[in-house]
Amino acid sequence: MSPMVHEKATIVICSLVKLGNWGTLLISEGTIPLLIQLLESNNFIAQEKEVFLVQKFSASTVTSRSITSYGGIPPLIDLYQVSDSISQSIIAATFKNLSAMPEVTQTLVDEGIFHVMINVLNYDIVMDLKEQAAECMLQLTPKPRNSSS
């Protein structure tokens, strides 16, 4: 996809999502695979918009599964490591949303989310990012089971 078409597609999807109830229709029409493909492109400006869209869609269990099943975790991790603090904050919120979904947690762990979040805790200077990283890791940590005696 050419950079110009890429950017226009992203702008249209962003505009529709901001207008209201278009998210459900966009998802049913196959937007998630397109967004994941666009996340992997080299167009930084469009990637910033796509990060916003993926974060919006990550709040739902159904779309979280789609984001994961279409391979959205690796490009989000890659972008997180090279983005500015605003995009990192949006991606961290996405990871936090995704980590709240039990069916997605194993994929996050398998893709190396703990390593990324530990690096945030150790090296990042933005307190909001550190808080989101800690919350994400807490949600991914198995809860102790109650044992009946």
Is 145 inside any structural domain? no
Is 24 inside any structural domain? yes
Is 149 inside any structural domain? no
Looking at residue 74, what is its pLDDT? 92
Can you give the CATH number for the domain in which 12 is found?
1.25.10.10
pLDDT higher for 46 or 89?
Answer: 89
Render pLDDT for 79-90 as a digit per residue (tens, 0 to 9).
888 888 888 888
Structural domain count, the chain: 1
Tokens of 79: 């972008």
Task: Quote the CA–CA distance of 149 and 133 in Å, as a whole number.
Answer: 36
CB crowding 45-75: b at 16 or more within 10 Å, else e: ebbbbbbbbbbbbbebeebbbbbbeebbbeb
Task: Quote the CA–CA distance of 1 and 41 in Å, as a whole number.
Answer: 9
Q: Where are the alpha helices (DSSP H) in the chain?
A: 3-19, 22-28, 31-39, 44-57, 61-69, 73-82, 85-99, 102-110, 113-123, 127-140
Is 47 inside any structural domain? yes
Render pLDDT for 68-77 as a digit per residue (tens, 0 to 9).
888 999 999 9
pLDDT higher for 28 or 68?
Answer: 68
Is 148 inside any structural domain? no
Percent of the chain with pLDDT over 90: 5
pLDDT higher for 28 or 100?
Answer: 100
Is 26 inside any structural domain? yes
Is 41 inside any structural domain? yes
Looking at residue 145, what is its pLDDT? 65
- Domain coverage including residue 12: 3-140
Q: State the Cα angle at 97 between 117 and 47, rounded to 5°.
A: 75
CB crowding 77-112: b at 16 or more within 10 Å, else e: bebbeebeeebbbbbbbbbbbbbbbeebbebbeebe
Is 146 inside any structural domain? no
